[in-house]
Structure 1
Amino acid sequence: MISITTKNSVIHFNSTVYTELNTYIKAQNPSKIFILVDTNTHDLCLPQFMANLESGDIATEVMEMPEGEDHKTIDICMGVWEAMSQYNADRKSLLINLGGGVVTDLGGFVASTYMRGIDYINVPTSLLAMVDASVGGKTGVDLGVLKNQVGIISEGAMVLIDVSFLSTLPQNQMVSGFAEMLKHGLIIDAEYWHTLTHLEELDLSDLDQLIYDSVIIKNKVVTEDPTEKGLRKTLNYGHTLGHAIESYFLEHDAKTTLLHGEAIAIGLILESYISTKVCGLPNEVLDEISEGVLKTFAKIEFEEVDYKPIIELMKHDKKNSHGIIKFVLLEAIGKAKIDCEVPNEIILEAFTYYKAL
């Protein structure tokens, strides 16, 4: 697959990733190499990565953080910053983030702020990170249960996508990443959406191309609008409600914590319903979207008492302005509209629609 060049970075795929990585290290000659992993990728991915890394005489340190969204915090950043300082990391050090979206988001933030910025490379190991989290330069951590409230947009030197790492994932993590791919089709490319919702016509060998196509879509958007002034906002489709739902389920012990993609899948359906009321999305298209999402994602049960606190959490969404909640909605599959204001009663109707599916 042909490497994808972004404004400040390059995305390499499969057979080229280690050649490109080792060429980069030889040319840049970093003072030290730090590799950030979580408890899962330490065991499942690090051995393969280290077997292909050619660091020569450059000292290499592995730093391990706990696995999971609830550890995407400033406290973990503190631990990583302190470890790097203890091992004498300087401005010529390199940080390699080997993991899913939590590792690439947090690691990118750590690198972008340590000594006001050192080089970093993302090596995504989950489907979610490959098609979304590791591409585009968004880094950051959560503030309590509020998603990605603290962060910076700063691209790493490169992204290395080795699809073989997906074999280490449990099924629910594979499915989680699929939600972002569905979103890419809904906001930009109706043909891609159709392909993703008819996977019975494909086989596993098509996955590489689907991932590549999703990265192309995301890169096109972030290249045109790197700082999210306009078009890049469309990448938040399904996320205004999805993030609020994810946060709500994370903070309530009585709820089963949702993976990011599971929450976003709900958001895609809810915000598609809202689109019929606000942007004139045809009802038959809403039905197509709901059916397409539910082919992969199981319905999640809500109670009416859940709705108000979820809506309250949306007040912290980063697209909001002057205290007004701003949605990304659909006029048609492949055509999104940004900065839409939505009355609470329509949001409540959307939950009623979802519950009845």
Structure 2
Amino acid sequence: MQSIATKTAVVHFNSKVYSELNAYIKRENPSKIFVLVDTNTHDFCLPQFMSNLESGVIQTEVMEMPEGEDHKSIDICVGVWEAMSQYGADRKSLLINLGGGVVTDLGGFVASTYMRGISYINVPTSLLAMVDASVGGKTGVDLGVLKNQVGVISEGEMVLIDTSFLGTLPQNQMVSGFAEMLKHGLIFDATYWYTLTHLEDLDISDLDKLIYDSVIIKNKIVTEDPTEKGLRKILNFGHTLGHAIESYFLDNEEKTQLLHGEAIAIGMILESYLSTKICKLKSPELDDISAGILKTFSKTNFEDKDYENIIDLMKHDKKNSHGKVKFVLLESIGKAKRDCEVPNELILEAFEYYKSL
């Protein structure tokens, strides 16, 4: 697969991953190399990665953080900053983030702020990180249960996608990443959506091409609007309600925590229903979206008491302005509309629609 040039970096795939990484290290000669992993990637991905890393005489330090969204916090950042300082990281050091979306988001933020910015490289190991989190330069951490409230947009030197790492993932993590791929089809490419919802016509060998196509879609959007002033906002489809649902389930002991993609899948169905009321999305397309998503994602149970709390959490969404919640909705499959305002009564209707499925 050909490498994909982003605004300031390059995404390399599979056979090119380690040759490009080692060539970069030889060319740039960083003072030290730091590899950030979580407890899972330390055990399942780090040995393969290190066996292919030709750092030569350059000192390499591995830093391990706990796995999971609830550790995507400033406290963990402080620990990583302190470890880098203790091991003598300077402005010519290189940070390599080997992990899923939590590691690439947090590691990118750490690198972008340590000594006002050092170079970093993302090596995504989850499907979610490969198709979404590691590409586009969005870095950051959560503020309590509020998703991605602190961060900067700053691209790394490169993204290295080695799809063999997907073999280390449990099934639920693969499914979680698939939600972002579905989103890319819904907002930008109806043909891609159709392909993803008819995977029975494909086999496992097609996965690399589907990942590649998903990165292409995201890169087209991000290249046109790197700082999210306009078009890039459409990447938030399903996320206004999805993030609120994810945060609510994360903070509620009575609820089973949802993976990011599981929450976004719910958000996409809810926001597709809203699209029929606000943007004239046709009912047959809503049916197609709901059926396509529920092919892969199980339904989640909601109680009436949940709705007010979820709606309240939406006020923290990053797309909001002047106190108004802004949604990305669909005019049709493959065509999104940004900055849509939705009254709360329609959101309650959307939850009733979801319950009826």
Q: What TM-score bracket applies, with the shorter chain setting the length? A: over 0.9
2:137 paired residue number: 137
CA distance in 2: counterparts of 1:17 and 1:352, whole angstroms: 47
Give yes or no for the alignment of 1:20 onto 2:17: no
2:45 paired residue number: 45
CA distance in 1: counterparts of 2:315 and 2:279, whole angstroms: 22
Q: How does 1:145-224 map to 2 (within 5 A)?
A: 145-224=145-224
Deviation, 1:240, is 0.2
Deviation, 1:176, is 0.1
One-letter amino acid of the counterpart of residue 201, structure 1: D
CA distance in 1: counterparts of 2:275 and 2:162, whole angstroms: 36
Q: What whole-Å deviation, never above 9, does each CA across 1:319-348 have from its counterpart, x for those lacking one?
A: 000000000000000110000000000000
Give yes or no for the alignment of 1:9 onto 2:14: no
Deviation, 1:132, is 0.1
CA distance in 1: counterparts of 2:229 and 2:16, whole angstroms: 34
Moved over 4 A (4+): none
1:285 paired residue number: 285
Deviation, 1:308, is 0.4
Q: What whole-Å deviation, never above 9, does each CA across 1:161-186 have from its counterpart, x for those lacking one?
A: 00000000000000000000000000
2:257 paired residue number: 257
Q: Secondary structure at the match of 2:95?
A: strand
Q: What whole-Å deviation, never above 9, does each CA across 1:9-42 have from its counterpart, x for those lacking one?
A: 0000000000000000000000000000000000
Q: Secondary structure at the match of 1:67?
A: coil
Give yes or no for the alignment of 1:76 onto 2:82: no
CA distance in 2: counterparts of 1:223 and 1:304, whole angstroms: 41
One-letter amino acid of the counterpart of residue 316, structure 2: H
Deviation, 1:298, is 0.2
One-letter amino acid of the counterpart of residue 198, structure 1: H
Deviation, 1:316, is 0.2
One-letter amino acid of the counterpart of residue 169, structure 2: L
Unaligned stretches of 5+ residues in structure 1: none
Q: Secondary structure at the match of 2:34?
A: strand
2:86 paired residue number: 86
2:31 paired residue number: 31
TM-score, structure 1 as length reference: 1.00
Q: How does 1:333-348 map to 2 (within 5 A)?
A: 333-348=333-348
CA distance in 2: counterparts of 1:287 and 1:333, whole angstroms: 11
CA distance in 1: counterparts of 2:78 and 2:158, whole angstroms: 24
Question: How many residues were matched structurally?
Answer: 357
Deviation, 1:70, is 0.0
Deviation, 1:78, is 0.1
CA distance in 1: counterparts of 2:146 and 2:313, whole angstroms: 8
Deviation, 1:4, is 0.4
One-letter amino acid of the counterpart of residue 85, structure 1: S
* C-alpha RMSD of matched pairs (Å): 0.2
Unaligned stretches of 5+ residues in structure 2: none
Q: What whole-Å deviation, never above 9, does each CA across 1:243-267 have from its counterpart, x for those lacking one?
A: 0000000000110000000000000
Q: Secondary structure at the match of 1:138?
A: coil
Q: What whole-Å deviation, never above 9, does each CA across 1:99-123 have from its counterpart, x for those lacking one?
A: 0000000000000000000000000
Q: How does 1:93-104 map to 2 (within 5 A)?
A: 93-104=93-104
CA distance in 2: counterparts of 1:199 and 1:5, whole angstroms: 28
1:327 paired residue number: 327
1:309 paired residue number: 309
CA distance in 2: counterparts of 1:74 and 1:8, whole angstroms: 27
Q: Percent identity between the aligned chains?
A: 82
One-letter amino acid of the counterpart of residue 266, structure 2: I
One-letter amino acid of the counterpart of residue 222, structure 1: V
CA distance in 2: counterparts of 1:283 and 1:247, whole angstroms: 29
CA distance in 2: counterparts of 1:187 and 1:349, whole angstroms: 22
One-letter amino acid of the counterpart of residue 12, structure 2: H
One-letter amino acid of the counterpart of residue 39, structure 1: T
1:63 paired residue number: 63
One-letter amino acid of the counterpart of residue 182, structure 1: L
Q: Secondary structure at the match of 2:121?
A: strand
One-letter amino acid of the counterpart of residue 324, structure 1: K
CA distance in 2: counterparts of 1:6 and 1:216, whole angstroms: 9
CA distance in 2: counterparts of 1:8 and 1:189, whole angstroms: 24
Deviation, 1:7, is 1.1
